[in-house]
Structure 1
Amino acid sequence: MLLLIFVTLTLILSILYPSEVVKYPNYVDWETILALAGLLMVTTGIRESGYLNFLSCKAITRVRNKRVLALVLVSLALLLSPLLTNDVTLFVTVPLTASLGEVLNDRDFALKLVVFETIAVNVGSTLTPIGNPQNLFIWHNWGVSFLTFVKFMLPLFALLTTVLFIFVVLSFKGLAEEPKCMLKSYDRTLLWISIILLAIYVIALELKVYRETFVVLILLLYAVLRRDVLKRVDWTLLILFILMFVDFRVLSQVKVISNAVKSLDLSSSRNVLIFSVITSQLMSNVPASIFVSKFTHDWLAICYGVNVGGNGFLLGSLANVIAMRLVKDKKFIKVFHKYSIPFMAVTAILSLFLV
Structure 2
Amino acid sequence: MKVQQRVRVAMSVSVPGIAALKRIELYMRQNPDLTIASLFALATTIAVPVSPEQLVGSINAPLLATLFCLMAIIAGFRRGGVLTYAYGRLFSGAVSARRLVQFFVFSCFFFSMAVTNDVSLIIFVPLAIAVLSAAGMEDQLLFVLTFQTIAANMGSILTPIGNPQNLFIYSYYQMNLAEFLRITGPLTAFSGLLLWAVTYYIPKTAVSVPDGEAPTMGRRKGLVFALLFGVCILAVLRLITPLVMFLIVCPALVLADRRVFRDVDYKLLLLFIFLFIGVGNIGRLPIMTAGPAQLLQGHEFMLSLLLSQVLSNVPTVVLLAPYTDAARELLLGVNVGGLGTIIASMASIISFKAYLGTAHCRPLRYLAFFTAANVVFLAAVLAMESVFI
In which range does the TM-score fall when normalised by the shorter chain?
Answer: 0.7 to 0.9
1:317 corresponds to 2:348: no
Distance 1:120 1:12 in 2: 33
Describe the SS at the equivalent of 1:165: helix
Residue 84 of structure 1, CA deviation? 4.4
SS in 2 for 1:317: coil
Change (3 A) 1:278 1:61: farther
The CA distance in 1 between the partners of 2:233 and 2:352, in whole Å, is: 31
Residues 164 and 142 from structure 1, CA distance in 2 versus in 1: closer, same or farther, beyond 3 angstroms? same
Where 1:64 maps in the other structure, the secondary structure is strand
Q: Residue 300 of structure 2 corresponds to which residue in structure 1?
A: 272
Correspondence for 2:286 among 230, 233, 255: 255
Q: Which runs of 5 or more structure 2 residues have no equivalent in the other structure?
A: 1-31
1:178 aligned to 2:208? yes
Alignment of 1:347 onto 2:377: no
Shift of 1:165: 1.1
Q: Match of 1:47, as an amino acid?
A: I
Equivalent residues of 1:41, 1:230 under 8 A apart: no
What residue in structure 2 maps to residue 47 of structure 1?
Answer: 74
SS at match of 1:227: helix
Instruction: Please give the per-residue CA displacement for 1:151-171, whole angstroms capped at 9, x wherever unaligned.
Output: 7544432222122112223x2
1:184 to 1:130, Cα distance in 2 relative to 1, 3 A: farther
In 2, Cα distance between equivalents of 1:234 and 1:124: 25
The aligned counterpart of 1:221 is 252
Distance, in Å, in 2 between the alignment partners of 1:319 and 1:245 is 12
SS of residue matched to 1:311: coil
Aligned residue number for residue 194 of structure 2: 163
Partner Cα distance (1:326, 1:180) in 2: 22
Q: How far is the alpha carbon of 1:54 from its aligned partner?
A: 4.4
* Cα distance, 1:283–1:333 mapped onto 2, change above 3 Å: same
How much identity, in percent, do the aligned residues show? 24
Q: Give the Cα–Cα distance (whole angstroms) in 1 for the partners of residues 42 and 191 of structure 2.
A: 38
Report the equivalent of 1:24: 54
- Offset at residue 202 of structure 1 (A): 4.9
CA contact under 8 A between 2:69 and 2:250: conserved in structure 1?
A: no
Residues 69 and 13 of structure 1: CA distance in aligned 2, closer, same or farther (over 3 Å): closer
Q: Distance in 2 between matches of 1:225 and 1:198?
A: 16
Q: Does 1:33 align with 2:33?
A: no
CA distance in structure 2 between the aligned counterparts of 1:149 and 1:53, rounded to whole angstroms = 38
Number of residue pairs the alignment of both structures matches: 344
AA partner of residue 59 (structure 1): L
Q: Work out the CA distance in 1 between the residues paired with 2:344 and 2:258.
A: 33
CA distance in 2, matches of 1:345, 1:88: 27
TM-score, length-normalised on structure 1? 0.76
CA–CA distance in 1 between the matches of 2:64 and 2:176? 20
Q: 1:178 aligns to what SS in structure 2?
A: strand
Counterparts of residues 1-355 of structure 1 (less than 5 Å)? 4-5=35-36, 7-18=38-49, 20-21=50-51, 24=54, 27-28=57-58, 33-34=61-62, 36-44=63-71, 46-48=73-75, 49-50=77-78, 51=82, 54-135=85-166, 138=169, 153-169=184-200, 171-182=201-212, 184-185=214-215, 188-198=222-232, 200-202=234-236, 205=238, 212-230=243-261, 232-233=263-264, 248=279, 250-264=281-295, 266-268=296-298, 271-293=299-321, 295-296=323-324, 298-328=326-356, 329-330=361-362, 331-355=365-389
- Over 3 Å counting, the alpha-carbon distance change for 1:152 and 1:12 in structure 2 is same
Per the normalisation by structure 2, the TM-score is 0.70
**1:343: Cα distance to partner?**
1.2
Q: CA deviation at 1:85?
A: 3.8
Letter in 1 for 2:379: A
Shift of 1:216: 2.8
Structure 1 residue 128, shift from structure 2 partner = 4.0
**Counterpart Cα distance in 2 of 1:72 and 1:294:** 40
- 1:346 CA drift (Å): 0.9
The aligned counterpart of 2:16 is none
Q: Which amino acid aligns with 1:39?
A: T
Cα distance, 1:81–1:314 mapped onto 2, change above 3 Å: same
Is the Cα contact below 8 Å between 1:127 and 1:157 reproduced in 2?
Answer: yes
Where 1:344 maps in the other structure, the secondary structure is: helix
Change (3 A) 1:228 1:350: farther
Q: Identify unmatched segments of 5+ residues in structure 1.
A: none
Mapped to 1, the partners of 2:225 and 2:65 lie a distance apart of: 16
Asked if the contact 1:46–1:190 (Cα under 8 Å) also holds between the matched residues in 2, the reply is no
1:235-268: CA deviations, max 9, x gaps? Answer: 666666666666555544533344443332x233
Measure the CA separation in 2 of the matches of 1:8 and 1:163.
37
CA distance in 1, matches of 2:177, 2:228: 20
Alpha-carbon spacing, 1:116–1:147, altered in 2? closer, same or farther (3 Å): same
Counterpart residue identity of residue 312, structure 2: S
Which of the pair has more CA radius of gyration?
2
Query: Which letter maps to 2:209?
Result: P
Distance 1:160 1:196, change over 3 A: same
Q: Any conservation in 1 of the 2:85–2:211 contact (CA below 8 Å)?
A: no
